[in-house]
Structure 1
Amino acid sequence: MNLRNKVALVTGGGTGIGRATSLLLTKRGVTVAVNYSRSRVEAEETVLTINKEGGRAIAVQADVSKDKEVRGMIKLLVQQFGTIDLLVNNASITRHIPLDDLEGATEEIWDELFDVNVKGMFYCSRAVAPFMNRNNEGAIVNLGSIAGQTGLGSSLPYAVSKSAIHGLTKSLARALAPNIRVNCVVPGAVATRWWAGREEQMQKLAPNLLLQRISTPEDIAQLICAALEQEAMTGQIITVDSGQTL
């Protein structure tokens, strides 16, 4: 798929991987809606950067865990741009809980992480599907995590939620074929604000990776764009982790 002149929604698009993806998409001629829930300042700064560089972007607020807000956001975007062609389901949250602290994984934390990380991706995919089907083509990329493959992550509920995203990708790929392709990009350690306060831990990890480097948000953004473009691929879980899980 040629991305030029397409319209994309990037959830959590104002920070980290979402920001890098928003910037790279606009460089490829895509109009980008930068979604945010609470990071308004970062989203608006990202949009300002894009527009200053000659791209086209807007910031749009919605909590992806709320289906009504998601549907309202998609309605607004279609009213403004006429359609939506691409979706990057990037918005995710975590809670840092030792893996063996089972009591720390409360019902509230399970609900919060699954509402945003899993149901949020489903709500966004469901909301954009009618417009992509109307165009007879569309592409969705979900952001997974190696935590969903290894079971090791910032918390047990987070790892399980990411595993669920990998499964959701395969199910959506079947449900939305043949017009809409759905793939999942699975990062390992990435130098984002996720590591805030744990930078020393991140630096200790880097030499132990096969490529001896922590991925950058730009690394992940490049693969996201490639997955959006690749017309012969759907239902795939693609790992980019500097060899961390090998």
Structure 2
Amino acid sequence: MAGMAAIVTGGGTGIGAAVVRRLAGRGVRCVINYASSRDAAEALAAETGNGSIAVQADIADDAQCRALAAAAIDAFGRIDLLVNNSGRTKFADHEDLDALDAQDFLDIYRLNTVAPFQMIRACAPAMRAGPASAVVNIASVAGVFGNGSSVAYAASKGALITMTKSLARVLAPAIRVNAVAPGYVGTGWFSERMTAEAFAKFEAFIASQTPMQLAAQADDIAGPVVNLLDPASRAITGEVTLLDAGAHLDIGLSRRPGRG
């Protein structure tokens, strides 16, 4: 993968940052996109030491998606890989139908589903010119089982999974498009809402509920993402890989509207 160029949205923190580090280790230069985490993104670009750059863009806006793609071309002369990692949610019990309104659905859908489409569209011309271009969308088990942090979040990730399959079909053979669907991932999304002691207990509980006895971390997701981007995976497109430490094997657990 040495010499390739990638864009990772939401690349300054969490899963995105773990993907950037793994790609850099494979010789890939990255455009580390951020919306507000400027310090983290710039520090990560400096950490990689391979010419990767941090670029601010609100990818819910189509014009900024196109500008982000142009920044990658200006910096590296190519775009080979795209990881659509940015996302948002609103925590709301699935049973509480009054916890969400139309604007919540639109805001979540705009970033979780429309923005990845806009990024793929913006990058497609350059990616079609490459020898082994690939996209990975970060979906969620919520989009498979209808659970997760809210009904709106699950619906947006379900739409992202369907879109992955649609675009894999129409962009082949030039561009492969796959998705990963993580379950729980121990990022700041959870740890910043709890004390260190409460977070440790929470992760121990999560691990106890999975066949692998594992509370996945960002790097556990980044590894499979990079594997899907690797040209060695050229026979894989239109796939959705569940990354939940086997929790989906427990039918009872998959039916409960827990966090996904």
| TM-score normalised by structure 2 residue count | 0.90
Q: Is the 8 A contact 2:79 2:130 kept in 1?
A: no
- Contact map agreement 1:8 1:31 (CA 8 A) in 2: yes
| Cα offset, 1:219, TM superposition | 1.1
Q: State yes or no: 1:26 paired with 2:17.
A: no
1:10 equivalent to 2:8? Answer: yes
Give SS of 1:95's match.
coil
Q: Provide the secondary structure at the position in 2 that maps to 1:190.
A: coil
In structure 2, what residue type is equivalent to 1:132? M
Tell me which of 119, 122, 125 is aligned to 2:117: 122
Question: C-alpha offsets along residues 210-243 of structure 1, whole Å, 9 cap, x if unaligned?
Answer: 0111111111111001001111110000111111
Which ranges in structure 2 are unaligned for 5 or more consecutive residues?
250-260
223-232 vs 72-81, which moves further: 72-81
Q: Is the 8 A contact 2:81 2:229 kept in 1?
A: yes
- Structure 1 residue 204 corresponds to structure 2 residue 200: no
2:243 maps to what in 1? 240
Query: Which runs of structure 2 are paired with 1:35-54 in the superposition (5 Å)?
Result: 35-51=33-49
CA distance in 1, matches of 2:170, 2:131: 14
- Specify the code of the residue in structure 1 equivalent to 2:225: I
Q: Percentage identity across aligned positions?
A: 39
Q: Distance in 1 between matches of 2:234 and 2:24?
A: 20
Post-superposition offset of 1:136: 4.7
Matched with 2:83 is 88
How many residue pairs get matched?
Answer: 241
The Cα of 1:56 is off from its aligned counterpart by: 2.6
Q: TM-score, normalised by structure 1?
A: 0.95
What secondary structure, in the 3-state scheme, does the structure 1 residue paired with 2:152 have? helix
The runs of at least 4 aligned residues of structure 1 exceeding 4 Å deviation read none
Report the counterpart of residue 109 of structure 1 in structure 2.
104
Amino acid of the residue matched to residue 41 of structure 1? D
* AA partner of residue 164 (structure 1): A
Letter in structure 1 aligned against 2:216? S
Unaligned runs of 5+ in 1: none
CA drift of 1:125 comes to 0.5
Q: State the partner residue of 1:218.
A: 219
State how far apart, in whole Å, the 2-side matches of 1:204 and 1:28 are: 34
